[in-house]
Amino acid sequence: MSVKLEGTFEEIISKIEALPSKIVYDLLSESVDFLVNQSPVDTGAYIESHALSSGGGKTRSINPRGRKKGTGDRVKAKAQLEADLAELDFSQNTFVFSNHSAHAHIVENNPRGKIKSPHIYTQLQNHIGVGKVEVDDPNG
C-alpha cells in the first residue's frame, strides 16, 4: 500500500499569485488589532470612529455627547474595522485608516500630555513600517 499526493505546477503558481493579496490582508488585519488594542477608550467616540477604506472615502464619526465615561466598546470597534477590511477593494492602489472623531487630532498630537496612549496612527505607521500620517486639526 502507498499514499501519493499529486498536483500540478500550475496549481502551485496560482497559489503563489494569490500570496501577495493574502499577505496584504494579514498585515491589514494585524493593523486592525493594533488600532483596537492601542486606542484609548473613554466614551467610545475615538475607538469606534476608526475606519478603513480603499482610497479614503469611508468615514465614521461617533459623537461623544451623552455617552458616559468608560463606555467605549473595543469589540464593536473591531467588528466595524473587520467589516471594513472585508469590503476593501484590493485592486485599488491605496488603503486608508482614518478617524473622524472630534478629538482625533488631540489623541494623535497629545498637546497637553494627558493622553495615556497618544500618537496611535504614528504608532501604527511604525508598527507596520509603511504609510504617512496626516493630522487635520480643526483649530488650524
Do residues 88 and 53 touch, judged by C-beta distance below 8 A?
Answer: yes
pLDDT value at position 138?
63
What pLDDT does residue 5 have?
83
* pTM (whole model) above 0.75: yes
Per-residue pLDDT of the chain (140 residues), as tens digits, is 788 788 888 888 888 887 878 888 999 999 999 999 998 876 578 888 899 999 767 766 666 555 556 666 889 999 999 999 999 988 888 899 999 888 888 888 888 877 777 889 999 999 999 888 888 866 65
- Dihedral (CA of 31, 59, 135, 88) sign: positive
User: How high is the pLDDT of residue 103?
Assistant: 82
- Cα 140 from Cα 134, distance rounded (Å): 13
